[in-house]
Each structure stands twice: as C-alpha cells, then as structure tokens.
Chain A
C-alpha cells in the first residue's frame, strides 16, 4: 500500500517537474521573469513548421537524366550542399534543405529537393538565389602593399568592434585578401577523391581542360609559395574560400592535387563543391511553392494552442462530472500525458504543424478512451459486489485486451499515414502515432498507480457514490 502511495507521489512530482521544464523552456510563458533552469530548458524549443512560423517552402525536381545511375546519390548530395551553403548565406534561422526520393512504388524514381526557409517571405529573392548556377572562382593573393593595407584596415575594424564604435567597413576589407583571376569553374574538367598510395591520406585531385591548364600554369608560375583561394558562390554571400592550398611549384599539365590534413568526409565535401562549378544535375524545376506570412502563422499557432487548452478543459470537466473520483484521477493522468507529449516534441525535435497539433488534440480525446474502458469495466465488477481494489484489478486486466487491440490498429494507421507522408501528413501521423503509444502507457500505468494509492476500499456508501457514474449511485 505505502509502496503504491510513494510511487503515486513520485509520478505526480515527475509530472509536475516535466510541466515546469516546459514552462521554463518557453520564455513567452513567463514573460520578463527569468526562472531557474531556463538556460538549460531553452535548448529545447518547440520546432514549428512553416505553416505556423511563416516562411517559404520550395520543392524542386532535379533532372538527373545525364547522371550515371550509380552517381545520382553523389550528385544530389553535392546539390544539397551547394544549395544549403547559399541558404545559410541568406541568413535564415534553421533552414531545411532535404533530398526526397519520390516514387519507386507509385511511379519512376524522381529526385526532389525540398527547401524550407522559415521567416523568409521574399520568394523572388529566394528562388533567384537557389536557381543560379554555382560559381567557382580561383583567386590569387594580392600584392604585399595591398595585403598590408587589408590587414591594417581589418585590425582597425576589429578594434572598433570591440570598442563598440559604429562600424564603417572600408572597401579594402570588402574586396578581401584575394584578387580575381580569369580562372573559374568552367575550366575545371573534374575533381576526384583519391588516397595517397603510402600514407592512405585523402587527396583531392583536380583536372583542368586545355584552356584551363594554360591559365592554371600561369597562375601557379606567378604564385609559387603563395596560396590560391578557391571560392564558391562568393557573390551570393559566402566570404570564406572552400579551400586555399599553397602552390608548391608551377603546375603545367593541368593536373593538380590538394593535400592536407582533412578527413575523408571533408575531402569528399570539397570534391563535391569543386565539381559543382556547374550544377551537378542537368536542371532544377520548381514544382511547387508555398508561402505563409508570419502573422498568419502566428495566428494559426495561437488558435491551435487555444483549441488544445479548451479541449483539455472540457474533457476534464466531463470526466470529473461523469466518472467522479476515477474521473478526477484520469484528469491527472491526462495532464501527465500532455506534459510528456510536449516534452517529447521538444526532445525528439518533432516539427509541429497545424495538422500535427490537430493530431495531438485528437490523441487527447483517444487517450481518455483507455480510462473510460477501464472505469466501465471496474463499475461492472463493483456491481458484482467486489471491493474497490479487487474491482480495479479485474477492470484493468479485462480492459487490457480491448485497449491493446484497438490501439494497435491506430498505430497501423499512423504508420501508413507516415509513409504516405508529405511533410503535412507526416506531422499529423507522428503526433497521432506517438500520442497513441504514450497514452497507452499513461492511461494504464499512471491511472493504475494513482487509483490504487487512494484510501478507499470496501463497498460502503462513500465508495459507491465516488465510483458511480453519470446520474447514478452504484447499488
């Protein structure tokens, strides 16, 4: 008995703890005040889908007809990398760039690229930027005097910044330490990943075409001992070179190797970026566009939250009025269910959409089902004249098969929905499926512990009233 009670108290404390965590992690809930644990908790914000945060979603179809079948994956990976770099340069928080392989069962395989830019509403700018051919540039170091001027200006700028003075970026700094050359991605034939025969270290080798070889020979001749910086999409806001190898000697044959301390993965990324001097796929077609303004998203979010709150309050009211004491207990179980789900959304990084919130709200209604089944069953046992604990035990045991079988069918539906998944539906399927699984746990184990911890047993008038339902007292 005491064991159950301690367990019940622990459950309530844990539930309250998770609730507090959610409270602390959303600064909007405690406006202005700082609460303890906030810094840790805020590392887990809710992830909002585009329909709630506002922003742009673009779906592209990549034409890969001229890419060899075995290399499609690599081509798509480099494409993703190139686009992601650009999107990051756009200054978007948490952009999503995803490869989606479509079809297989329902048609020929198609390679898609999904780009989501939360908070961006200028579709034109986004589309223009993504659709552009990547630009690879080879640049050489500026002269000694120019470099000195650059470094000096940069130091001054940094000093200003630390002193908090208004920043006025001089042209020398904007131009950067490298100067443009004629050599660019068009002259590059290919870049490949190789491994050194003896050291087994990754090497990136690049091959230029005829014209490129001549240009490259000139550049290397003039810059022995200096660096040649390779930039990708510099004008689209990527100010750092993707690589800046030192020229050891003049290279005449148009074949060069970049060696250095990189991991195989870094080398592979570099190869992809070098090769993306032209888009690694033939063509990108914009298949669908979706934009949602930020105020509209915020409105939808608030509406979803309020619908959830009202749903919870009304269901709780119904449970207490109809099922009395067990009803009250199930309200606690439901509350714990809600906080567990919200915490899971945070920890698993589930992207919440309007459909996802709908799935969650629906699962709240279904979460109660298991409790209703148990209570009805318990009542039957009480009617037979059993004591409270005996009746509860029987009620839980006999309701279990129904709960199990009916929930499995819901899980089957959720899985198929997830597979069906556009992002809209995946959001719904995930919250709904997760909800069904978690609710099985909360409805059974939490309600059970709490009910057994109650100081009622026997079959007196009090028990019959508290465990009765609707308009009746148990006979």
Chain B
C-alpha cells in the first residue's frame, strides 16, 4: 500500500502543519472568548446604524473604556467590554441608544471572572480525561492483540493522533483570529471522539487481519487493512462533513464557528487515522524488531 510505503512524506506533512499551528499559537495567541476570561457582550440592532467612531466615543464618555465595537450583519452592532453589573448593563444599553435612532437589544451576556476561571480549568480537565478514557479503552479493547506489538502501543498511537487532530484545527482557528470559547472546547472534544472512530475502524481491521494471518509481514498486513477500510473512512467523513457544511451554511449563527472547526477537525482526523496512525504502527514494529 502506497500509504505505508511513502509514510515519511505524510509524517513530514503532519510535522510541518503541527509546527505551523504551534507557531500561530505562539505568535498570535489565543483570542479567548468572554466565557473564558469574563466580560460582557451586547448585540443591538439599529434602524440606521451609526458608525464605529460615534459609538466608541459615546462608550468612552460613559465610562466603558476599552470597549470593542464590531459591526455584525446588516444592521447589528456588537460591543464587548468587561463584566458588568445589572446597573452597568442598563447604562451600557442607554449609551448605545443614540438619540434619533431606533435601537433594539437583541442579546446580552455577562460572565464574571470566577466562572471564566472555573471553565478554563474544567476545559483542561475535560481534554485530559477524554484522552485518558480513550487510551484506556483502546488498550482494553485491543488487549488480546499482543503480536507483533502490544496493545498499549495502539493506545499510545491513538493519543498521538488525537493530539495531532486537535492541535491542527486549533492552530487554524488561532490563525483565522477566531474566538476561543466553550463551544470551541466542545468541538475539540467531539473531534477527538470522531477521529478515534476512524482510527479504531482501521485498527480493528488490522486486529482481524492479524488473526486471519493475511500476511507474515506486518507492514503488508497494515497496508491491506488500510486498503480495505479506505472507502469507508472517506465516505463516513464525507457524510459527517456534509451535515456539518449544512450546519455551517444554514444553521444558527451561534454554531457557525463550531461547525467550521469540527469540519476542519474531521478532515484532519480522517487524514491522520489513515495516513499517520497506521504507518506509525509499522514504524513501532520495525523499531521493535531491530
């Protein structure tokens, strides 16, 4: 199978994309949403939208220094600022109600710094727990497979691909300057769930082919298994990507970024389970037999 044969090319591609992702994270930094750092966001809509400068000035005058004004849609304006109390919210709302214009408040949310901090630490716990849960499960599910490489190595490789699958979309997101919020973390966790689906299907086929002894050569066995599961991997990812695309194009505004990152993640995840995970098995086997 060409994938196993030219594995170095695919490894290189992945190493470069991961390096680029880290580079993006290091230089641009995460643009944390208000649910992670605390703050408020208000969305209002006008009959005739004032320009950014008018609004920024009005906001500064009312004591909302550093408020960020953003245009959204055709008639909407979003303002982001620090976490506000109820009195401050009313003040903000009346500041935005500029004389002579009709204004309607569409949504507001304010999240205190305590909740932000708590969510941040919970996000890390969740990511670590998901990885741990999946590794343990795979080591368990493949426990009868010990020849030629032991079951926990399947788990280890799955972890490596999982990390690959969340680092790359996270990098793309940072590079696009998108906001990192709770839904972003949910998307990363879901990517892990779906990506491991793919990896397991390929590994399961390897497990079966090892039992059937299709070949004495491990690399050939892996290659055969990849060929057998190839169409399935592509087609499944295709259907998931189709539904995510409809979610992106037709779905609610609040889940647009979410479907985008899932879309990227699933594309990357399929790539890694076919082009990275199984060739890595071959590498481990080769190293072991040396």
Contact = CB atoms under 8 A, between A and B. Distances in A.
Interface of A: 51, 59, 61, 102-103, 105-107, 121, 123-124, 127, 286-293, 295-296, 299-301, 303-304, 306-308, 310-311, 314-315, 318-319, 322, 354-355, 357-358, 361-362, 364-366, 368-369, 372-373, 376, 380, 398, 401-402, 405-410, 412-414, 416-417, 419-420, 422, 424-425, 428, 432, 469
A290 B111 CA distance: 8
Contact of B133 (A318, A355, A412): A412
B243 A318 contact: no
B246 interface: yes
Contacts of B247: 307, 311, 358, 361-362
A417 B235 CA distance: 27
Nearest to B111: A288
B254 A416 contact: no
Contacts of B246: 307-308, 310-311, 314, 361
Contacts of B138: 409
Contacts of A304: 251-252, 255
A311 B112 CA distance: 37
Contacts of A322: 235
Contacts of A311: 242-243, 246-247
Q: Is the interface of B mostly helix, strand, loop or mixed?
A: helix
B69 interface: no
Contact of B251 (A106, A314, A361): A361
Given A290-B108, A290-B109, A355-B183, A303 B235 contact: no
B201 A127 contact: no
8 contacts: A107-B121, A123-B108, A290-B108, A291-B105, A412-B193, A420-B125, A420-B189, A428-B190
Contacts of B133: 409, 412-413, 416
Interface in B226-259: 228-229, 231-232, 235-236, 238-244, 246-247, 249-255, 258-259
Contacts of B107: 290-293, 296
Contact of B141 (A102, A372, A405): A405
Contacts, number: 224
Contacts of A369: 197, 236, 239-240
A123 B109 CA distance: 11
Given A289-B40, A291-B109, A357-B251, 4 more contacts: A287-B115, A310-B250, A413-B134, A428-B190
Contacts of B86: 123-124, 127, 286, 289
Nearest to A424: B182
B193 A303 contact: no
A417 B191 CA distance: 12
Contacts of A303: 250-253
Contact of B125 (A105, A121, A373, A380): A105
Nearest to B44: A293
Contact of A300 (B126, B235, B242, B252): B252
B49 interface: no
Interface of B: 40, 83, 85-86, 89-90, 104-112, 114-115, 118-119, 121-123, 125-126, 129-130, 133-134, 137-138, 141, 182-183, 185-186, 189-190, 192-194, 196-198, 200-201, 204-205, 207-208, 228-229, 231-232, 235-236, 238-244, 246-247, 249-255, 258-259, 262
B194 A410 contact: yes
B63 to A, nearest CB: 19
A391 to B, nearest CB: 15
A414 B193 contact: yes
Given A290-B108, A358-B258, A315 B243 contact: yes
B242 A315 contact: yes
Contacts of A410: 193-194, 196-197
B279 to A, nearest CB: 20
B152 to A, nearest CB: 16
B193 A413 contact: yes
Contact of B204 (A299, A355, A405): A405
Contacts of B194: 366, 410
A469 B205 CA distance: 21
A315 B243 CA distance: 7
Q: Which of A287, A306, A318 has the most CB of B within 10 A?
A: A287
Nearest to A322: B235
A302 B83 CA distance: 31
Contact of B105 (A293, A315, A405): A293
A209 B66 CA distance: 52
B61 to A, nearest CB: 22
Contacts of A407: 197
Contacts of B208: 398, 401
- Nearest 5 pairs between A and B by C-beta? A413-B193, A365-B240, A300-B252, A307-B251, A311-B243
A358 B255 CA distance: 7
Contact of A372 (B126, B137, B192, B235): B235
Contact of A307 (B121, B201, B250): B250
Q: Which of B134, B196, B251 has the most CB of A within 10 A?
A: B251
Nearest to B43: A296
Given A288-B112, A293-B107, A420-B126, A413 B254 contact: no
A318 B193 contact: no
B67 to A, nearest CB: 17
Contacts of A424: 182-183
A432 B243 contact: no
